[in-house]
């Protein structure tokens, strides 16, 4: 099964934001729906080919943009984005070239980079509507991101939950990579604790979608006002 969402990031620029977002998306849509190189590349695989192949099959690229995104430099003090082999740049350029949906996610910053500061092959990124994400406030910023993903990839459905056995008041429970999500989206906070955004239980996926939209609809107004060479 090909992933639907590809997370593009530079670790030195966004810190732990990529793993946190990855956890939240997988907790909502399922393990196989998200590609993040540090977790998803097969051991021993030729990672350049695997990255290109997975990206080509995705429908949405999340471009995580932190405060140092356009100014980050390599070990020789050259700007990373000026290197045509820089993976952050290449992934965005390929996604734009292939006509994938590209969603900029501004991590702890308020403005998109200046178009004039970017290489020609990724300047179109600045014309995409962005979302904000603040580390350590995932309970606020992750729900509108999940909603934007669902809008961009309509065929993505929240994973069906199974009935939990016993414990704390019943309800539906699902296991997400060792983290349990009860009646909601898994959000891994900066402290490492799972935070659950609760919503009413629904056995039917369509009812679950309606509950999801009702719960996260209020965030619309809020939106408006690889270990591999990613260091």
Per-residue b/e over 32-51, b at no fewer than 16 CB within 10 Å? ebbbbbebbbeeeeebeeeb
Q: Is the CB of residue 143 less than 8 Å from the CB of residue 158?
A: no
Average pLDDT of span 20-32: 92
Does residue 46 surpass a pLDDT of 70? Answer: no
Looking at residues 184-205, what average pLDDT do you find? 39
Banded model confidence at residue 31, pLDDT cuts 50, 70, 90: confident
Hey, what CATH class is 1-231 in?
A: alpha beta
CA angle 107, 187, 176 (to 5 degrees): 130
Mean pLDDT (whole number) for 116-145: 95
> Measured in whole angstroms, how far is the alpha carbon of residue 186 from the centre of its chain?
13
User: What pLDDT, on a 0 to 100 scale, did the predictor assign at position 49?
Assistant: 73
Is pLDDT larger for residue 209 or for residue 10?
A: 10
Confidence of residue 54 (pLDDT cuts 50, 70, 90): confident
Q: What's the chain's average pLDDT?
A: 76
Express each pLDDT in 64-105 by its tens digit: 999 999 999 999 999 999 999 999 999 999 999 999 999 999
Identify the pLDDT of residue 157. Answer: 83
Q: Rounded distance, CA 120 to CA 193, Å?
A: 41
Question: Where is mean pLDDT largest: 110-119, 161-170, 208-217?
Answer: 110-119
Nearest to 29 by CA among 200, 145, 198: 145
Q: What pLDDT score was predicted for residue 216? A: 43
Least confident of 32-36, 39-43, 125-129, 170-174: 170-174
> What's the pLDDT tens digit per position in 136-188?
898 999 999 999 999 999 988 887 655 444 444 444 434 444 334 434 444 44
Strand order in the sheet with 34-35: 34-35, 5-8, 60-65, 101-107, 131-133
Stronger pLDDT, 226 or 151, i.e. the higher one:
151
Lowest mean pLDDT among 2-11, 22-31, 80-89, 162-171: 162-171
The DSSP-derived string for 145-183 is HHHHHHHHSTT--PPPPEE--SSTT--EEEEETTEEEES
Task: Return the half-sphere exposure (C-beta side, CA atoms, 13 A cut-off) of residue 139.
Answer: 10
Helical residues (DSSP H) of the chain, grouped into ranges = 11-14, 17-29, 37-40, 47-57, 87-97, 138-152, 205-216, 219-224
**Residues 174 and 180: beta-carbon distance below 8 Å:** yes
What SS3 class is residue 63? strand
**Lowest mean pLDDT, pick from 11-15, 154-158, 215-219:** 215-219
Alpha-carbon separation of residue 36 from 10, 63, 65, 79, 149 (angstroms): 11, 12, 15, 23, 16
Contacts of residue 143, defined as CB under 8 A and 6 or more positions apart, other chains included, come to 185, 197, 215, 216, 219
Domain range annotation of the chain: 1-231
Task: Check if the beta carbon of residue 156 is closer than 8 Å to that of residue 150.
Answer: yes
Helix (H) or strand (E) holding 65: strand 60-65
Res. 41: pLDDT tops 70: no
- Whether the pLDDT of residue 230 is over 80: the answer is no
Distance between CA atoms of 10 and 17, rounded to whole angstroms?
10
* Whether this model's pTM surpasses 0.75: no
């Amino acid at each position: 099964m090909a992933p639907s969402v590809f997370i593009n990031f530079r670790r030195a620029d966004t810190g732990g934001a990529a793993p946190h977002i990855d956890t939240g998306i997988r907790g909502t849509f399922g393990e196989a729906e998200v590609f993040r190189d540090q977790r998803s590349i097969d051991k021993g695989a030729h990672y350049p080919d695997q990255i290109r192949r997975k990206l080509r099959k995705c429908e949405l690229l999340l471009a995580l943009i932190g405060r140092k995104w356009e100014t980050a430099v390599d070990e020789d003090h050259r700007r990373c984005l000026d290197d045509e082999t820089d993976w952050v740049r290449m992934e965005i350029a390929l996604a734009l070239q292939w006509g994938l949906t590209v969603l900029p996610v501004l991590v702890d910053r308020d403005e998109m980079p200046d178009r004039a500061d970017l290489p020609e092959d990724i300047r179109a990124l600045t014309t995409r509507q962005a979302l904000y994400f603040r580390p350590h406030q995932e309970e606020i910023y992750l729900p509108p991101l999940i909603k934007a993903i669902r809008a961009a990839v309509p065929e993505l459905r929240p994973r069906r939950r199974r009935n939990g056995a016993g414990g704390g008041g019943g309800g539906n429970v699902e296991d997400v990579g060792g983290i349990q999500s009860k009646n909601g989206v898994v959000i891994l906070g900066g402290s490492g604790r799972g935070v659950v955004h609760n919503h009413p239980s629904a056995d039917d996926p369509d009812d679950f979608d309606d509950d999801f939209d009702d719960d996260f609809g209020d965030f619309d107004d809020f939106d408006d006002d690889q270990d591999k060479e990613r260091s």
